[in-house]
């Protein structure tokens, strides 16, 4: 199995080469295959039942409605690869603090007083994002490498 860094570089090189030789359709297929490989993990992370294992049910329901999990493909010279990104934008506010929730913390105004904020850890469990991501990383990586191999074979006409 390829090292993660080597696999990321291989993906970046292939994406650039497909564009350079005018195989943009094949590049789109590669990107779609990568998104498809990451989708089961993204669906698990967004699932309200999964979120309820990590935070109070009421907040899990709210977060689930706002939570977006997307796949970003980076083909730049520095730090190429595929990244799963989570955010929870809200209208008129800065959004929900996904990283803080993953750390097992939530902040809220003390009894609605926005002058006094309280950090809560009770009922929270760290890792709603990182735990499934780390567990699924080998399978997702293998699926992405398989997509890269298929694209390479198609580009070479095999």
Q: What is the mean pLDDT of the chain?
A: 85
DSSP conformation class of 117: E
- Residue 107 within any structural domain of the chain: no
- Residue 59 within any structural domain of the chain: yes
Q: Residue 7: what pLDDT?
A: 66
Of 52, 26, 50, nearest in space to 40 by CA: 50
- Residue 45 within any structural domain of the chain: yes
- Residue 112 within any structural domain of the chain: no
Higher pLDDT, 148 or 105: 105
Domain count, the chain: 1
Q: List beta partners, residue 68.
A: 87
What average pLDDT does range 145-154 have in this prediction?
Answer: 82
- Residue 110 within any structural domain of the chain: no
- CA 115 to chain CA mean position, Å: 34
Higher pLDDT, 158 or 21: 21
- Residue 66 within any structural domain of the chain: yes
At 80-123, the pLDDT tens digits run 778 889 999 987 677 889 999 999 999 888 888 889 998 999 99
Q: Residue 4: what pLDDT?
A: 54
Tokens, residue 124: 């929270």
Using the predicted structure, report yes or no on whether residue 126 has a pLDDT greater than 90.
Answer: yes
User: Could you tell me the residue range of the domain that residue 51 belongs to?
Assistant: 4-97+128-155
Q: Residue 149: what pLDDT?
A: 83
pLDDT band at 1 (very low <50, low <70, confident <90, very high): very low
- Residue 111 within any structural domain of the chain: no
Using the predicted structure, report yes or no on whether residue 10 has a pLDDT greater than 80.
Answer: no
């Amino acid at each position: 199995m390829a090292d993660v860094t080597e696999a990321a570089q291989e993906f970046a090189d292939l994406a650039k080469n497909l564009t350079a030789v005018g195989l943009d359709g094949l590049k789109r297929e590669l990107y779609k295959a990568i998104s498809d490989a990451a989708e089961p993990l993204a669906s698990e992370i967004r699932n309200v039942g999964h979120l309820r294992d990590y935070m109070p049910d009421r907040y899990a329901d709210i977060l689930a409605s706002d939570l977006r999990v997307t796949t970003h493909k980076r083909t730049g010279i520095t730090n190429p690869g595929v990244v799963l990104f989570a955010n929870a934008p809200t209208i008129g506010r800065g959004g929900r603090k996904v990283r803080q929730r993953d750390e097992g913390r939530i902040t809220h105004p003390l009894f609605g007083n926005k002058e006094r904020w309280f950090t809560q850890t009770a009922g929270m469990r760290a890792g709603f994002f990182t735990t499934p991501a780390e567990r699924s990383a080998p399978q997702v990586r293998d699926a992405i490498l398989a997509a890269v191999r298929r694209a390479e074979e198609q580009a070479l006409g095999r």
